[in-house]
Structure formats: structure tokens, C-alpha cells
Structure 1
Amino acid sequence: MNGNEWSTYLYELQYCIMQQDEKIKLLEKRVDTLEKKATENKAPNIEKIEYKFDQLKIEHLAGTLHIGLSPSDLENIEELASQQTTPPNYPVPLKQQLTSELQQYLRETGPSQISNLAATYHKPIDESFQAMLLQDINNQLPSRISFYEQEALKQNHSRNHDQLHTFITDSIKNEINQSLQNYMQSSEKEGEDS
């Protein structure tokens, strides 16, 4: 190698070193920036949380369970109990009143009515089947009350509370009687067809 070649070689080597030095400085700046962001945005490390629902299961409860009260409220539980007053005597809503009255009507007249119809149509009915019939009718009372309430509004039978009450009660009692009679008649016809 002559002198000219050495100088060219050294010049190229110096140029490569300067480029690498610039890259190193640029990378150091990026690392510093990333470290700053990491320390600024350092979020707490949350490990995996496992819920074990069998821990929430209550096998046996001895004592009183107060729902909606914090432990500090429990200290004042005696005051809360003494501050409660009896509720005001509001009139029972019509639907509840009708349901109660019609359930009583079913309890009082239902068994004898079914027995009489069974005897008239020669249809033997045991007590469990009779109870099932009465329970079925009882389950339908709320929907039938709503139906006749709407009918009363359509037919203007609801001039006042008493008229509405009478219309709904009479309509449902008639429907119960008619339904039981139709059932016994259809059961008798099925027996004749067989």
C-alpha cells in the first residue's frame, strides 16, 4: 500500500466511525426518551385476580343478615328500629282487593260447585284433581281481572269504584261458573264418544 491508498483508507474509516457515532447518539436519545416515558406512565402492576365464588356461598347463617347497611350503620341499628313507624292506612288497590275476594270465593264455593257439577254430569273427580282445577282457576285470576277491567273501560261500566268492582267480580264469578260447567259437559261428551 502506498501513501495515497493509506490516506484514502483512513479517510473512509474515519467517515464510517463518524456515522456510527451519530447513530449511537441518536439511539441514546431514543433510549432516554423511552425511559422518561416509562417512568412517567408507570402503571401499577396488577397481577391476575382469581375469583372463587364458593367463598361467597353461605352454608349456614346464624344471626341476622342486614342487607344494605355498612358496619358503621349496624352500631345505630337500634335507633333505626325505634324510628320506624307503622305505615299509613292506605286503601288496598282494586286489583289486590278483587284478587283476594275472588280467591276467597273459590275457596268457599269452588269445591262444592265442582262436586255438584261432577254429580250432575256423572263425572267422578277426586280431591287432587279438584285442587288442580281450583289452582288453575286461581292462577288465571290476575289476567282475568285485567281483562274485565279493560272491558269495563270500553263499555263505560266504570263510573265509580263500586260499579267497577261489582262489574269485574260478577263477570269473573259468572265466567268461573260457566267454565266449570262447560268443562264437565265436554268431559261427559268425551266419555260418551269413547
Structure 2
Amino acid sequence: MDNYYSWNAWMQQMMEQMKEQQKIIDQLTQKIEKLQSSDQRKTVIEKIEYHFDQLKIETLEGTLQIGLSPQGIAESEIEDLYKGQTNDHHLNNLMTSHVPNHIDEYVRIHSLPLSSEHREKIISDINKQLPERFQQYQRQHPDLDVHDIVDRLSKEVQSSVIQYLNNYKREDTP
């Protein structure tokens, strides 16, 4: 009989725990229903002010269009925006990659001693001229696409680098 009472007591204890848990479940269900049915205040953000001058931007990539909507701008104007960004990307690639590579290649092939300061000065000087040259190509050759203009500029830069460094090499050697 002792076994019967311990089994019965355990069952009674389990029933009490189940009743407590059911009570908690019912309370939580009521709270959820109350939260769902009540009119909750919604947060409305009316105006966001951007203070870009207070941001530190180390790398900026991609497309940012603030205040533009497809309904507010003609399709051709949107394409012009992307063309400008594409032009900037290709021109930036020319300035950061091709120009230094042309100089480094010439220096390597001709074993020309060139200080890093002089190299940076050449790169800087060429890069200052590239945006204007790019626009000049666009005005003179509207039929050319961005890639063709960049290719022509790259060849022009290569030729200019060769000419400049040839003169520099002659002046440097006695």
C-alpha cells in the first residue's frame, strides 16, 4: 500500500503543477490578446535631417539618391545620373590604378631611379588633368562610350608618361 500512496501523491503533485502552468498560459494569452486589440501609438517620423559634415566617411561606395523618386524624374534624367556615377567610377579606376601602373612599368623596364615623392607628384599632376580631359573627349566624341574614352585616356596617359620620363631620364644622365 505504501507504493500506492507515493504514486498517488506524485500524480497529485503533477496535476497541481499542470494547473499552475495552465493558469500562467491563460494569463499570458489574455495579455497578448489585450496588446493586440488595444490601439497602440505608432511612431511617426516626420522629418530626418542629415548632417553629413559631422560624419567621418572613410570609404563611400554605391549609389545614394536622397529625395528622388521615379515619378518625379524623367527616365533620361535618371540614366544621366547613373552615367555620371559610372564615369566617376571608371575615371577613378584610371586615376588610382592605370596611372600608377604606367609609371611603375616604365620605371621597372628602364631601371629608372624615381623617388616616391617624384612619383606621387607625377600621379597627382596627371590625375588633376584627367577629369577635364574626360569631359573634353565627351564633348568632342559624343558617340564614344565611357569604356572607349577611358581606353583613349589610358593610352594618352601612357604616352605622356613615356615622353615625360624619357626627358627626365635624359636630364638625369650626364
TM-score, normalising length from structure 1? 0.46
1:187 aligns with 2:154: no
Residues 104 and 88 of structure 1: CA distance in aligned 2, closer, same or farther (over 3 Å):
farther
- Aligned partner of 2:87 in structure 1 is 98
- Helix, strand or coil for the counterpart of 2:111? coil
**Would you say the 8 A contact 2:91–2:150 is kept in 1?**
yes
Larger radius of gyration: 1
RMSD of aligned C-alpha atoms?
2.7
For structure 1, which runs of at least 5 residues remain unmatched after alignment?
A: 1-77
Unpaired segments of 5 or more residues in structure 2? Answer: 1-44, 50-65, 71-77
Cα offset, 1:145, TM superposition: 1.0
Residue equivalent to 1:168: 149
Task: Name which structure has the greater RCO, CA cutoff 8 Å, separation 6+.
Answer: 2
Deviations 1:87-146 (A, max 9, x none): 347343545532331221331233333122113333212222222221211111121012
Does the Cα contact within 8 Å between 2:99 and 2:157 map onto a contact in 1? no
Query: Are residues 95 and 125 of structure 1, via their aligned partners in 2, closer, same or farther at CA, if it must alter by over 3 Å?
Result: farther
Identity of aligned residues (%): 19
Q: Give CA-to-partner distance per residue, 1:18-41, whole Å, 9 cap, x none.
A: xxxxxxxxxxxxxxxxxxxxxxxx
Contact 2:99 2:123 in 1 (8 A): yes
CA gap 1:170/1:136 in 2 versus in 1, 3 angstroms: same
Change (3 A) 1:100 1:132: farther
CA distance in 1, matches of 2:84, 2:161: 23
Counterpart CA distance in 2 for 1:106 and 1:87 is 30
Partner of 1:136, secondary structure, is: helix
1:81 matched to which residue of 2? 48
Question: 2:141 is matched with which residue?
Answer: 152
Q: 1:111 maps to which residue? A: 100
| Residues 134 and 149, structure 2, Cα contact 8 Å, conserved in 1 | yes
Cα distance in 2, alignment partners of residues 111 and 131 from structure 1: 9
- TM-score when normalising by structure 2: 0.50
